[in-house]
A and B are shown apart, each in its own frame.
Chain A
Amino acid sequence: MKRFKYLLNKIKWAVFALLFVLVLNFFLFRVLPGDPARAGVKDPRMTADSQQAIRVRFGLDKPVINCFVSLNPLKLGNCLINPLQTQFFIYFGNLLQGDLGISYQTNRPVGEMLGGFLLNTLILIGFGQIIAIFLGIFLGLIAAWKSHTAIDFGAMTFSLVAWSLPTFWLGIVLLFLGSTYLGLPVVGKFSAGMSLQEGWLKFLDVAKHLILPTLTFTVVMLGEYMLIMRSTVLEVLSEDYILTAKAKGLNTFQILVDHALRNAMLPMVTIIALNLGFTVAGAIQIESVFSWPGLGLAIFQAVNRRDYPVLQGAFLIIAITVIFANLFAELLYSYLDPRVQAS
């Protein structure tokens, strides 16, 4: 019962946070200067009538909310109009029905567009995270075990350098080296014509395209995980029960894996869960360098065109992943460490 109440309370705050983010996002884009009807287009064929038609089509001619026609420039309006004829309530009404709107740029449903992009991002960061997590835990453990030796020094140096490398720079360097010397592809998810293949050939082609972006992502995340793992294992290894374990005659492997690792995993689990939420958006640099058609790239392109529905939809996805990843991390932590709930 106690755990159930704890769970409900956490979910309640997660929902509040999500609502706050949704409202903030809506107004945030409308505070930016510019007009989606004209965004990025410098073509005389885009006449004033065409622009107005775009505004009407996407409801941009309606007031933002009661009392405000627009936020930038700030234009006050009628406070007594029907709220359901304002952009804010139309957006939320559609959202409650699962409709994320239509993209201003592509005229396609945003949900359909973002679903595909999200899946591509999850493929990219999924593989990268799995490799970075396992390698980070393993190498961090080794570095802590061999602390103050050449191995530890090497591991520390590598992890600090990896964590501080600019992602886009690393990506471009790997792109150049990988394509020149290993013939690896530099763009997209498929080679020309491979999208129509089935089965093993298609899988191999996608895997080949994943090598460089995943390697970039892994190197950047690996540094962080190694450092944290090393630091927490060192802390655990200084505990009295480890000394007891040594005194009992347990070998190094048993001490590290059965005693140190489990306790050192607590902060790692939290970091991993939080990273899973943030890296959905954080892959934007990698996706841009390798033209990987993910959520980050979609956001970058939507910003240029002031494509509000796509941006709002993408930010909604990111907010959900971050908030629920945070929730998951809290719940997992409380499962792993019952002392958290008791407090």
Chain B
Amino acid sequence: MSRKTWLLVLLIIPAMILSACGGAKTETPVVQGTEVPTTKTPVIVRVGYAGSPDTLNPTAGILSEAWTMYGLVYSSIYMPQYDNSFKLDIADSVTPSADNMSYTIKIKPNVMFHDGTPLTAKDVAFSLNFYREGVDFPYMNGYTTSFADAVAQDDSTVILTMNTPVPNIDYLLAYLYILPEHIWSAHTGAAAMEFDNAAMIGSGPFKMVDYAQGEFVHLAANPDYYGTKPLVDEVVFQTFSNEDALVQAIKTGQVDMITEFPLTALATLTSTDNVKVVSGPGLAPDLNDIIINQVSADNCPVADGGLCTGHPALQDVVVRQALAHATDKQQLVDIVLLGEGTPGLTLIPDALIPWFNTSIQDYTYDVAAANQMLETAGYKDVDGDGVREMPDGTTKLEFRFNWPSDSTVAPRAAEMISNMWGDIGVKLQLQALDPDALTSICCPAFDYDIMFWGWGSDPDPSFLLSVMLTDQIPTGMNETGFSDATFDDLYIQQGQQLDKETRKSEIWQMQQIVFDKVAYIIPFYTNAVQAYRTDTFTGWITDQPKLELQNVLSLVAVEPIKK
């Protein structure tokens, strides 16, 4: 082969490779019917956040960023409010039948989808049935388990019939976004979750303009919105994979608001001109928990891979209560959270009023009392090495203490807890693990002693309470192995209790049971800490019981500062 031919071959190989790799689209194209206004310079709110929606398809979304977008682009029958209540959104009224086995839902007239198609009761009925029939939908399916059927009686009336009466229809309907039947009817069954829904045609106050996975979401105001119209033209959410860049962006004015930032930047941002830092309980507050493995031998889910290697001392409620007494929660808040949080109490965050049990008196931080409890129960330090042993003198009170390696608060918290519990003769073997490694030892394997982790929460407590049910031990949802027959019965009762006060009482009782038996030690509830520029937009909602600046209620209220 000549040198020229040889050189040709060498040039052809990379050309083939590049031509095969290049040319793929990087983003969803602009959707028809959602052009950006071109007559004047649009007023754009730029929001920086550290995540990105996993999908624009509401049937498949899991990440909170995706749900933020759904709330902006879609309507639902009820809209969650900052005070934990729900207000009618697309519906003028929702009237229960006498036996609460059906609801008559009256839909607002003259509502249009973003593509100009009228939204009628048929779309509402279609959406409710669509979610109910989608048994594979990760989150949506859980909201419709008590639904039997939804029928459009006419263009403005939907009759929703139930399998069982529920106390929280407003909550269950709030996240069932109304989908246009003329689009989604072609994506039913297994195809539903695979539909990328790039156009995201909804009826909410904002509509999709452009989207690039992992980069940005670009929304424009919906001029035909039936409710409070946005005062800005567009909103762009930009994804930051580096939190230092997020802080730098708000400082230099490249974004107008950031939804989160590392607490180490709190002092910097507080002292930055034209930047305001705000904090408070999040709209769907997260919580951290100290998970104590207390699965009994009877409940060990061996058939599901249960190993149940937890330390025997943790089966004793006295030990767990002593640990609770030895935990200085206020110090954890002050140091780990730099004050941006409140001491924890139960698995229901304190922001979930009225479900949070305010009557529970926490275990006071009292090292002497904790030591006394352990001494009385027979857990003595026989060999004088500072670590107590079991009453039979065999095993030391030395516990494995793990946390997910991606947690920013856990390392310092673990270190502090180790010191605190060291004061009562308990030694911890600290180890961070990859979240999936942690899941694999947690549940249903129960191959751990104590973990520091957390949960996301919802405005209604039923999902969080369900993780302490006995029948959730084999599924892996119950991470402590806690089991109480009264708790299990109360869970069923509260799920059907129509009287709100009675339901509240039942939920309070459930929290008391869990608290008395120390299924968890809740160290703190973390505040949402956000920041916005004070020289670009005004009107951010910061005076409500909960804080979420990127929520639809806030984004329709902001307006540019007139200079």
In chain A, what residue has the closest Cβ to B17? Answer: A324
Pick the residue among A107, A297, A324 that contacts B13 (CB under 8 A): A324
Q: A35-B439, A116-B26, A288-B241 are in contact. Are A43 and B456 (CB under 8 A)?
A: yes
22 interchain pairs, CB-CB under 8 A: A34-B440, A41-B62, A42-B456, A45-B142, A48-B475, A48-B476, A57-B190, A107-B55, A107-B57, A116-B26, A119-B21, A186-B245, A186-B248, A186-B249, A187-B238, A187-B240, A289-B245, A290-B242, A291-B245, A328-B10, A331-B13, A335-B7
**Residue among A3, A195, A289, A321 having the largest count of chain B Cβ atoms under 10 Å:** A195
**Taking the complex as formed, is A140 at the interface, i.e. its CB lies under 8 A from any CB of chain B?**
no
B453 touches A42 (CB 8 A): yes
**Residue among A44, A108, A328 having the largest count of chain B Cβ atoms under 10 Å:** A44
Pick the residue among A50, A288, A335 that contacts B139 (CB under 8 A): A50
Q: A3-B6, A186-B252 are in contact. Are A50 and B141 (CB under 8 A)?
A: yes
Query: Chain B residues in contact with chain A, CB under 8 A?
Result: 1, 3, 6-7, 9-10, 13-14, 17-18, 21-27, 30, 36, 42, 44, 46, 48, 54-55, 57, 60, 62, 135-139, 141-142, 190, 193-194, 196, 209-210, 212-216, 218, 234, 236, 238-242, 244-245, 248-249, 251-252, 254, 305, 406, 434-437, 439-440, 453-458, 463-464, 466-467, 472, 475-477
Q: A107-B196, A113-B213, A195-B216 are in contact. Are A44 and B241 (CB under 8 A)?
A: no
A183 touches B252 (CB 8 A): yes
A117 to chain B, nearest CB (A): 8
Chain A residues in 8 Å Cβ range of B236:
192-193
B24 touches A180 (CB 8 A): no
Complex: A289 Cα to B190 Cα, angstroms: 38
A180 to chain B, nearest CB (A): 6
B416 to chain A, nearest CB (A): 22
**Taking the complex as formed, is A224 at the interface, i.e. its CB lies under 8 A from any CB of chain B?**
no
Complex: A103 Cα to B214 Cα, angstroms: 14
B241 touches A4 (CB 8 A): no
B349 to chain A, nearest CB (A): 13
8 A Cβ contacts from A32-73 to B: 32-35, 38-51, 53-54, 56-57, 72-73
Chain B residues in 8 Å Cβ range of A118:
21-22, 24
8 A-B pairs besides A122-B21, A293-B213, A335-B7 with CB distance below 8 A are A38-B476, A47-B142, A47-B477, A54-B138, A187-B249, A192-B44, A192-B216, A331-B13
Chain B residues in 8 Å Cβ range of A39:
435-436, 439
Complex: A115 Cα to B477 Cα, angstroms: 37
Chain A residues in 8 Å Cβ range of B467:
44
A195 touches B218 (CB 8 A): yes
A202 to chain B, nearest CB (A): 12
Q: A35-B436, A39-B436, A50-B139 are in contact. Are A107 and B193 (CB under 8 A)?
A: yes
Pick the residue among A107, A114, A289, A321 that contacts B60 (CB under 8 A): A107
Complex: A111 Cα to B24 Cα, angstroms: 9
Q: A57-B136, A291-B245, A327-B13 are in contact. Are A179 and B252 (CB under 8 A)?
A: yes
A48 to chain B, nearest CB (A): 3
A8 to chain B, nearest CB (A): 11
Chain B residues in 8 Å Cβ range of A297:
214, 241
Chain A residues in 8 Å Cβ range of B434:
33-34
A180 touches B242 (CB 8 A): no
B455 touches A291 (CB 8 A): no
Q: A54-B138, A107-B196 are in contact. Are A116 and B245 (CB under 8 A)?
A: no
B10 touches A335 (CB 8 A): yes
**Residue among B196, B209, B234, B252 having the largest count of chain A Cβ atoms under 10 Å:** B252
A107 touches B194 (CB 8 A): yes
Q: A122-B21, A293-B212 are in contact. Are A40 and B435 (CB under 8 A)?
A: yes
Q: A122-B22, A186-B245 are in contact. Are A7 and B14 (CB under 8 A)?
A: no
Q: Mark A183-210, 1 if CB is under 8 A from B, else 0.
A: 1011111101101100000000000000
Q: Mark A284-325, 1 if CB is under 8 A from B, else 0.
A: 000111110100011011001010000000000100110010
In chain B, what residue has the closest Cβ to A119? Answer: B22
A48 touches B472 (CB 8 A): yes
